[in-house]
A and B are shown apart, each in its own frame.
Chain A
Amino acid sequence: MTATPLPVASGRHALAHLARIARRHPRDCAAALGWTLAAGVCGVLVPLLLGDLVDAVRAHHADLAGLLIRTALTALAGALCTAAAQRATVVLGARIAARLREDVVVRVLALDPRAAEAAGGGEVTSRVTEDMENFTTAVPLLAQVSTATGTIAVSLAAFASLDWRLALAFLTVVPVYVLGLHAHLPRAARQYAQERTAAAERGRVVLESLHGARTVDAYDMAVLQTGRVDAASGHALTAGLRATWLSLWLAKSMNAAEALGLCAILLTGALLVDAAEVSVGAVAAAGLLFHRLFDPLGTLLTSFDQVQRAGAALARVVGVAALPAPAAGPARLPSGPVTVEARGLRFSYGPGRGDVLHGVDLVVPPDTSLAVVGASGAGKTTLAHLLGGVLAPPRGRAVFADRLGRMDVREMSDEDRPAWVGVIAQEPHVFTGTLRDDLTLAAPDADDRAVQAALDAVGARWAAALPDGLDTRIGVGGHPLDAAQGQQLALARIMLADPPVVVLDEATAEAGSAHARVLEDGAHALVRGRTALVVAHRLSQARRCDRIAVLADGRVEELGTHAELLALGGRYAALWSAWTEHGAPVRGHAVASEE
């Protein structure tokens, strides 16, 4: 297995996390608790008052009217309190859920992308979507559980007030419940964990299919891909049905407990009435009280089950939300031009896999550009991501040096790093929303003029022709943009963020040459006046950089200017001859002759 699973919180840890969030909403907590208790008290008083009524009717008691009024008022108050309790608990639950999903998304945003990707993209997504939702749907349950607990607690007191022996009879249900739960919970915990894992895999396959819908269409492989979704969803279905079967047995043990408890109470009552210890009304009240408890007891017991199910989801959510935030180093903004240095950088994708980089040493002087070329898989992207702070090097150092001193990239916090360095990844992502939304993600305070200037600077002239200008909706469901346009947006974002260091990872890879040249010009505009590391397979782009490093098997094999490396007659010269083979004219000849 290559996937490194994301942590899953322990039950205690997950609950503690919930409690921490709940404490931030003391008023909601108090309202939920208060209304719940009030509802419980009313719920218990009604059968007791009915018992009194039975006695009053039997004894031809005089104060029937007063008793009736009290019963009616209690019943009405109970109804209102129950509704208020539900509202208060659902609102509390919603606040907790909102806080939790914000926590988890914020934490995921700070996650090392490699950790997220190693766990599988679908895995992280399922935690912030499906698991979160599973927890949220369990929120109304919170209302029921708290109402049930309140009712049961008050009932026990009521039983004791009728007669302690009746209370004892009531307690006979406890061992049955305990036995039922004892047999059920461990098996169910395993089953629910399996169910969640199967559902996460289902989410991954569904998402992967939906993202690649165009490819599926092109290959006419809808049947195959639907079959894959069917299989993943089928596994989740099987796991779900097994979990349902387990819940069924728990429900049946509850029925048994109800029957036994009722018989015990009635039998005890009969004996007590026979011995003239309690009134028939008291027995009737105890019987009715117990009957009124069927529902709360059932809720409580099945809630163990559902709580466990929600708990499995919660544990997965909290597992991410409670990850320790990456330690932030001393915050400092860059001052003046920045030198980029790599010292003995090594990297491997997981234990047991060979190193991708074997101790790379590089220096990029301030305001100059270094191109990194080499075969695919040579470690170019890894090097770019290490120097850009997207990945953290396990060994070696990536250092930025400005007038004021040296900063290890690893020690920069997520908030500070963008002020130093911007990275453009190989595959562009167009964010769903307006064009302005997409760009201001990098600079929230940028006004329309700045946004427009950035678009112009990277040569995104098409933006002016969009139907609604900066308000045009782009991304999924919006105005379609091609890969090159997406990459221009990526360049424009960094332009707006304006860091002194830029790392371009094959920023022109997605486009054919016609587009690539426009992109190259955009990239060039971005690189100018900054310290830049440019990963390039298009040698025409590499050539425009001040120096070129050839990376092979995780080592820097050659380093120098274009002319020096050609003269060397090594790996770069071979790449260049492959590049210029087949008679293609090479751009920049004229420029070269001018130099």
Chain B
Amino acid sequence: MAGIAGMAGRTGGDRRVRALRHVRARAPRSVLVEVLRRRRRALAVGCLASTVHQVCEALVPLAIGLTVERAVAGGDPGRMAVALGLILLLFAVLATGGGVSYWVLNRAVQQEAHRLRVAAVGRVLAAPGAAAGRTPGELLSVVTSDATATARVPALLTRVLSSVAALAVTAVVLLRIDVVLGLCVVLAVPPLVVAVDAAGPRLEARLRERQQAAGLTAALAAELVRALRVLRGFGGQTEAARRYRTLSHDCLDADVTAARASALVLGATLTATAAVTTAVVALAAVMAYSGRIGVAQFVTVAATAPFVADPVAGAMAALQQWAAARASASRLGPLLHGAPPLPRQAVAPARALAPAPAPDGGLRLRAVGVADAVPFSLDLAQGEALGVVAVDPAVASAFVEVLAGDRPPRTGAVHAGRTSPDPAHPRRLRRHVLAAPHAVHLFGRTVDEMLDSGREHHPARHARALDVAALGAVTAARGAAAAEPADGATDLSGGQRQRLALARAVAADASVLVLHDPLTAVDAVTEDEVADRLFTARRTDGGITVVVTSSPPLLARCDRVLFVGHDNIPVLATHPTLLDVPDYAETVLR
């Protein structure tokens, strides 16, 4: 039984992995190239310093060989003193080069990761389409770990280049001792690196799968934490834990496969380098034995040749991480480049948004058709409040979307102020219209932060908005209203959170405010009170208010109500008049 259920869960996970695989690869290269271009200064300085460091490292075994053969074997204290002095100098240069490259590159990597992260989040927030159906948990993993892996490329490139420099030094040392020995290294190492690198794509695929599985696992964990209260409500923890385990096991399998693949690559690299270096040493031993090179030179070879392994291993490790960086960049890329750029006005600098005066001539709807409703015309003057009631929820939703500029109307046009309606750019309406979504999402830790939506900040406006939402008493009870932390607003009740969201909408002071079922989680007395304060405040400010709702306390306070019944014919009248229409009475029935 459990086995069958377990298998069902497993195939589900596989399907998810497979489905996500299609998301990848919008030219990871371009992201990596961008990163390198942006960090070119750090790259240049880091490369230089790292090359100095690596060359010094390559010279250390040479220094040991020379010291042993010239000073230790000779027994000359003067030479010994010089040799030790030179070794200390070599280390001083080595340490400086290493330190500079470490700092410069690490700083660049962290700054770049930060930059990529903020750019990706900014992009998703400015154009939600960029997220392309990925869960917030997955996105979090992309903008944290994938951003860091992608940002690592300057450090990786540096490591490859400085390893090549170190190899060159070793090759030169060997060439000067004997051409054959030098040629061994010069000729053997490049094909070796190329051969191992050929395994790259396979390894990259394994690493990508591993990363993907890890991302899914983390996403599920994040979702379960978020839904903790709901889960406990129906006792789903055990089943949720089982599903998480299944996914975690998939992730473990991917880890093991990836470990096997990278161990294979490592083993091949090490074996090949060991073969090259021992061949060189053996050749030198034979040469020294036969007198072709001196014993001192043999000691130098014996000291230097094994060092070949270090830069080769370093370069290979960097290439492996490069594969991981490419995999990460392919997940990050769509967030940075995926969605088409927004029309300019849609990303107007929010900080500069002053409360726009109500559009001259108010809001004019001309032969506007939404969903299946018959087109209608309607003028709203400054300070006017319109209720919207539709039997078909799709009509109400479509109406909100049209006013919000999410999409153009099926027919006709919406005129706000002097903006001429443009079907290609419905979002232009947003200069005048704020359509607050029904779902409550509050941002920040303090009430003040939660009320801030990027408009010009007036403390008085916040206080007034709280008062409109009848939250004055609540915030007073919490102490200093503004500074009180309310993490995730979790100890606020559902009704209080909904009213905080309403207060935010009021504080935004939009010339046209569209509200969708704003007071569904509030008790009858409070609903009545808030409805009264809301319309009074909006009227005083001269703002237009549109409320899509079926709540009588709100509808009764609207100047007019637009009703779309079963016949899809819009009717414009007042709430008391409409109560005589059976369709309407049925819809607002409590």
Contacts and interface: CB of A to CB of B under 8 A. Distances in A.
B195 interface: no
A472 B552 CA distance: 36
A8 interface: no
Nearest to A543: B590
A248 interface: yes
A291 B60 contact: yes
Contact of B12 (A111, A425, A434): A434
A428 B267 contact: no
B114 A78 contact: no
A367 interface: no
A501 B88 CA distance: 80
B111 A237 contact: yes
Nearest to B273: A79
A368 to B, nearest CB: 21
Interface stretch (B69-77, B409-417, B537-545): B69-77
Interface stretch (B178-186, B346-354, B376-384, B565-573): B346-354
B137 to A, nearest CB: 7
Contact of B143 (A47, A206, A415, A432): A206
B553 A578 contact: yes
A2 B267 contact: no
B490 A105 contact: no
Interface in A259-294: 259, 262-263, 266-267, 269-270, 273-274, 280, 283-284, 287-288, 291-292, 294
B50 interface: no
A128 B136 contact: no
Interface residues of B, number: 182
A120 B487 contact: yes
Interface string B64-97: 1101110111010000100110011001101100
A78 B267 CA distance: 10
Contacts of B205: none
A591 interface: no
A129 B143 contact: no
A377 B310 contact: no
A246 to B, nearest CB: 11
Contacts of B555: 582
Contacts of B348: 220
Interface in B211-262: 214, 217-245, 248-249, 251-252, 255-256, 259-260, 262
B528 A578 contact: yes
Contact of A287 (B140, B266, B303, B508): B303
B575 interface: yes
A417 B235 contact: yes
Nearest to B491: A349
Nearest to A128: B221
B549 interface: yes
Nearest to B235: A418
A209 interface: yes
Contacts of B295: 54, 57-58
A270 B67 CA distance: 9
Interface string A129-147: 1101100110000000000
A19 interface: no
Interface stretch (B26-34, B118-126, B161-169, B365-373): B118-126
Interface in A499-529: 503, 506, 509-517
Q: Is the interface of B mostly helix, strand, loop or mixed?
A: helix
A475 B236 CA distance: 17
A171 interface: no
Contacts of A432: 135, 219-220, 223
B360 interface: no
A506 B494 contact: yes
B252 to A, nearest CB: 4
Nearest to B223: A432
Given A80-B267, A233-B118, A440-B239, A3 B256 contact: no
A133 B520 CA distance: 40
A213 B236 CA distance: 28
A128 B1 CA distance: 29
Given A105-B244, A266-B67, A434-B12, A213 B526 contact: no
A544 to B, nearest CB: 12
Given A125-B226, A218-B436, A414 B118 contact: no
A32 B272 CA distance: 23
Nearest to B499: A376
A533 to B, nearest CB: 13
Contacts of B419: none
B110 A240 contact: yes
A76 B306 contact: no
A222 interface: yes
Contact of A228 (B353, B430, B444, B508): B444
A514 B550 contact: yes
Interface string B484-496: 0111101101111
A91 B226 CA distance: 31
Interface stretch (A9-17, A176-184, A249-257, A303-311): A249-257
A86 to B, nearest CB: 5
Interface string A407-437: 0000000110111001111111101111001
Interface stretch (B41-49, B98-106, B326-334, B460-468): B98-106
A449 interface: no
Contacts of A228: 443-444
20 contacts: A68-B278, A116-B225, A208-B443, A210-B124, A212-B443, A222-B350, A234-B114, A244-B107, A252-B95, A262-B60, A262-B64, A266-B87, A294-B60, A418-B234, A428-B230, A432-B220, A509-B495, A512-B549, A513-B589, A576-B524
Sorted from nearest, which 7 A-B pairs have the closest CB atoms?
A418-B235, A376-B495, A212-B441, A477-B133, A83-B267, A87-B263, A79-B270
